[in-house]
Amino acid sequence: MVSKTTPPQKLVMLERGTMVGNRHVHMAKTALISGITGQDGSFLAELLLDKGYEVYGIIRRSSSFNTDRIDHLYQDPHEKDTRLHLVYGDLNDSSSLNTILRQIHPDEIYNLGAQSHVRVSFDIPEYTGEVTGLGTVRLLEAVREAGIRPRFYQASSSELYGKAIETPQTEKTPFHPRSPYACAKAYAYYITLNYRESYGMFACNGILFNHESERRGETFVSRKITRAATRIKLGLQDKLYMGNLDAQRDWGYARDYVEAMWLMLNADRADDYVIATGETHSVREFIEGAFGHLDLDWQEYVEIDPKYFRPAEVDFLRGDASKARRELGWEPTVSFDQLVKLMVDHDLLLAQQEAEASEMNHVAVAVTRWGSI
Ligand code: NAP
Ligand code: F7E
């Protein structure tokens, strides 16, 4: 496999496996993940490597490293039996997708790549449509053009329900998207369904409700709260500025949710599934839980900044995952309280490291200053 730019040293090089004609031949089952550097992509890569897969991840060229979440999975490409490979590509660039699929011939494709931030999608709606919506059809067409029959997972979202007309939401609940992100995901959902119906592809939509973890991006509400609470606890930050505290979500743990993706692609038939805990909590409850775990009174620190309000809000979501439970045997294992605590505990360690580094820096500056007198 040839990348278009020179890969940074810490990435696994792509030359591997046996070439037959212009493609690689694999011994183990092979998966391709778009969005491998994201929260879910990193957990999914771990899961698939544990199951013995050969994993290819599509990464974007970036001016600084963006592989933090998968650095621990790094394998020296010079070693034998390397099973994680990163390839440069972009969901906005059909030719890179075509090249990747022609050469890799994966058994399973997980399309997790997206501009996934709902608030940001109001600022960059067209770009969000390109990546999150049209990116999916680019990948599906690349599959067809390569003449291969992989199983295909589409990362659909509970944001599709938006202004939901019933509770709890199931696979049959009509969609009412409330953001450019959700509109793009609606296109991606239907095009995936359409390729299943039109071409008989084994293509599944996982309609995943919010799922969080210690690897969640820092601007999503859960991580924003746990980072701020822990930094406040250690005196690194004074205030937390928030938007709508009344919004309610069905929050689960990301590791549980990537297991559901794999179960879908390894079922007897392709179908669409809701993945959720069935429990709903408000943003305010998340704040109370996080600050409470640190023995802090959140009301002393949290202020509202209207800049975090959205032009249209999704007020309430609660999923019914009974189809996934029944047909895939999937169950969430982490409760809301456990989720909040595990994220706070993780961020507390990071805040402690930050505080220590800052302390060392003060000492270093003092030594330098006084030493120079
Ligand atoms: P995330 O952390 O934001 O990760 C998004 C991934 O997409 C990153 O690896 C990002 O790469 C990649 N990406 C962005 N633009 C791309 C492009 N043009 N071409 C190729 N890759 C691109 O998202 P996540 O939370 O892991 O979610 C995974 C997927 O599930 C997303 O599609 C999201 O919309 C969907 N989803 C998430 C949730 C949730 O609660 N987490 C719920 C339902 C559905 P960089 O690292 O280079 O930016
Ligand atoms: O917001 C409210 C905000 O940005 C949750 C993505 O993974 O899940 C995620 O989308 C709620 C919203 O996630 C702040 O208004 C209040 O009601 O963490 P979030 P999201 O919009 O639900 C779905 C399932 C996806 O598919 C998406 O990819 O929290 N909120 N104050 C705030 N949200 C943020 N980010 N920041 C605030 O200050």
Q: Residues 278, 283, 289, CA angle at the centre, nearest 5°?
A: 90
Q: What is the pLDDT of residues 17-66, one digit of tens each?
A: 455 555 555 568 999 999 999 999 999 999 999 999 999 999 999 999 99
Mean pLDDT within 211-232: 98
Closest ligand 2 atom, CA of 185?
26
Ligand 1 centroid from CA 68, angstroms: 14
* Concatenated DSSP letters of 271-304: --EEE--S--EEHHHHHHHHHHHTT--GGGTEEE
Rounded Cα–Cα distance for residues 166 and 189 (Å): 20
- Ligand showing the shortest atom-to-Cα distance for residue 121: 2
Q: What is the pLDDT of residue 364?
A: 65
By DSSP bridging, strand 302-304 and strand 108-111 are unpaired
Q: Residues 185, 314, 192, CA angle at the centre, nearest 5°?
A: 15
Q: Residues 220, 164, 254, CA angle at the centre, nearest 5°?
A: 35
Confidence class for position 151, pLDDT limits 50, 70, 90: very high
Residue among 332, 336, 325, 313 at smallest CA distance from 164: 313
Closest ligand 1 atom, CA of 211?
40
Ligand 2 centroid from CA 89, angstroms: 27
pLDDT at residue 150 tops 50:
yes
Mean pLDDT within 216-243: 98
Q: What is the pLDDT of residues 117-130, one digit of tens each?
A: 999 999 999 999 99
**pTM score above 0.95:** no
CA atoms within 13 A on the CB side of 215: 18
What residue spans define the domains of the chain?
18-214+252-279+318-334
Catalytic residues: 157, 159, 181
Ligand 1 centroid from CA 113, angstroms: 4
Mean pLDDT within 76-88: 89
Sequence-separated (6 or more) residues with CB below 8 Å from residue 200: none
What torsion do the CA atoms of 180, 184, 189, 191 make, to the nearest 10 degrees? 150
Closest ligand 1 atom, CA of 254?
41
Confidence class for position 232, pLDDT limits 50, 70, 90: very high
Q: What is the pLDDT of residue 3?
A: 36
Tell me which CATH homologous superfamily contains domain 18-214+252-279+318-334: NAD(P)-binding Rossmann-like Domain (3.40.50.720)
Rounded Cα–Cα distance for residues 261 and 358 (Å): 41
Mean pLDDT, the chain, as a whole number?
A: 92
Q: What is the pLDDT of residues 240-254, one digit of tens each?
A: 999 999 999 999 999
Q: What is the pLDDT of residues 315-329, one digit of tens each?
A: 999 999 999 999 999
State both tokens at 234.
């250690």
